[in-house]
Structures are given as C-alpha cells and as structure tokens.
Amino acid sequence: MSANVTSRPTTGPNQALMPNLADGPQLGKVAVLMGGSSAEREISILSGTGVLQALRSQGVDAHAFDPAERDLCELRHAGFERCFIALHGRFGEDGTVQGALELLRIPYTGSGVLASAMAIDKVMTKRIWQAEGLPTPAWRQVGSVEDVRAALAALGRPMVVKPAREGSSIGLTKVSEASQCEAAFQAAAREDEQVLCEQFISGEEVTVPVLGSGAQARALPVIRIVAPDGNYDYQNKYFTDEVQYLVPSGLPADEEDRLQRLVLKAYQVLGCRGWARADVMIDAATRQPWLLEINTAPGMTGHSLVPMSARAEGISYEQLCVRLLQAATLDHPWEAA
C-alpha cells in the first residue's frame, strides 16, 4: 500500500550523501534487527523486511534477526560483523540493544547508548532542548488522573496526553474536557509508567530527517504532513492512503531553512549520529516551530518518511540503506574486534 506523496523532481543525487554501492559485498555478514518486544513490533517487522530486501539487492550478505526470538549473544557466535537496527520503541531504540552491541563489539546503525536512551524519553529530551534554548511545547510529567486534570488547567485546552517512552502515536490522546482525563491517563499508562501531558499546538505538522554525524550531519528536505481532520494517528500513519506527504513542503524557502537548522541543532545537542527524524509543529498564528520529539531509529516501511525525504534528494531506498549501514559504528570504535 503506497502513501499519497507529492514530490519534487530532483536535479540529481546529493553526492555528499551517496554511498558507494560497490562496497555492498565488502560490508561483511549483516544482521537486520527487527521485530523485538515493544508495542511497535509490527511496524519494526515491516521496516526490517524492507531494509533486508534492499541490502540484499545491493549484494550485502544480510540476514533477519529478531531479538524477541533469539539471544543477542548469537550475533557474535554466528559471525555477524554489523547490525542494521530496524527495531522501534523500547528494547531496540532506547539504548538497551545499543549497549549489548557495544559489549559484543559489533558496530550498529544509528545513535549510541546515551543519545538513544535520552531521545526515546520525551521528558528527558524536552529538558535538554529547554536547557539549550530550543522551543518545545509546555509540558508536565504526571503520575495520576488528578495530575492530568491539574495539567489541563495549567496547559490549557486542548492538550495531548501520551506515554513518555513510546512512538507511533501509541497511547496518545487529545484531551479537551476534564471528563476525558481518566481515560487518557489510563491509555498512556498502559504503555509506560511515565506519562507526559503536553500543550497542544494548532498548526501544520512537519517532519525533518537528518543524516550524518557531528559537523558533517545535515538535514534532508522538510515533509509537510496533511492528515484527515488533522488526525495523524497509528492507523493513518501506517495503514491508509489518506495522509498527504508534501515534498517539497510548500513552505517558504526561508521557513524550511529555519526548520532544518532547528532540527539539526536538536539532533546535535542530544548527541545523535547516523540518522534520525524530528517531528515539529508550526503554530498557525505565529509560525513559531515547536519541537515535539526525535526518533533515532525511524521507520523504513512503505509509508515511512525518511525514505520519502531522501528520494527528494535523489537518494533511493536501497542507497539510503547502504549508506546507513556503511556508517555503522560503536561508541568506542577503537575497541571493535
């Protein structure tokens, strides 16, 4: 099922981001980690299957590996030399698998242990962004229904209630009335003991991928998301064609540039590397962008956004997968076996 995408013609690939596809067979035996035990298992399998097929098409000796079904220690025993992390959510995107791979000394795609752990935690991410002077909606961490009601009074209506450490809009509720607070808290608390209430920003939703590390990192084209009735939920994200993804975004060039620079800084202050994707709301009245969250192991399904943005740069899905794999590393690469 393909997403409804409006894309611009490209003038050719950005050479700074292009992999050498001839290197595929030289990347060694590769495990594509997919599935796992988080609430996003279903999406992870879709992502991992796409990555696996793409890598094999480029001559990479790639194999599926589900940590929910196999012990990670098998990676070393089976001779895997790199891992492409296509896991989403906890026990995959939160620093736990990254830490295990550090101990096994097997280079992996994406951010390291600390950046992964911080980025999946929306509360910690907001604290860091606020400390760095980056704009993120007002918020409160809550532990009870009474806290949610107090947050609604403080943050205003509507507000968003969501798990602090889940993605894909799982457990998320938009709350407009006090009578909705109990159900919203329960929905979020089922997914995570840490629950976040966040000021709702009315406006346009965009997402901005980043590729690379350190000073070489750069933001890809902005994608503007137009969902039915503004409802960009789990179902619309992955299983319908009702959402429009606009690349180019249709935003003024200076506004797109501002968004890219903001997201790049948000990525760098968290210490992210390899790749990530940040979600941003643009206030309809003021045009102020507000950082919502950052994903350090973004989706790679047929509806996923990083591949869409990469295509606008002339980078195919296969080329993107190889590039990410080539950048696989460790927090302490000099210790790699």
232 is catalytic: no
293 is catalytic: yes
277 is catalytic: yes
168 is catalytic: yes
Please provide the size of the chain in residues. Answer: 337
213 is catalytic: no
From 293, 309, 317, 323, active-site residue: 293
From 90, 277, 311, 323, active-site residue: 277
What are the two backbone dihedrals, phi and then psi, of residue 96, each rounded to the nearest 5 degrees? -70, -50
242 is catalytic: no
From 38, 111, 168, 309, active-site residue: 168
299 is catalytic: yes
From 116, 299, 317, 318, active-site residue: 299
102 is catalytic: no
From 24, 35, 36, 40, active-site residue: 40
Contact at 8 Å (CB) between 320 and 306?
A: yes
From 166, 279, 313, 318, active-site residue: 279
Per the DSSP assignment, residues forming a β-bridge with 199 are 159
Q: Per-residue b/e over 204-221, b at no fewer than 16 CB within 10 Å?
A: bbbbbbbbbbeeebbbbb
Q: Characterise 182 by phi-psi region: left (phi > 0), alpha (psi -120 to 50), beta (else).
A: alpha
From 238, 245, 267, 317, active-site residue: 238
Q: Catalytic residues, which ones?
A: 40, 168, 238, 277, 279, 293, 295, 299
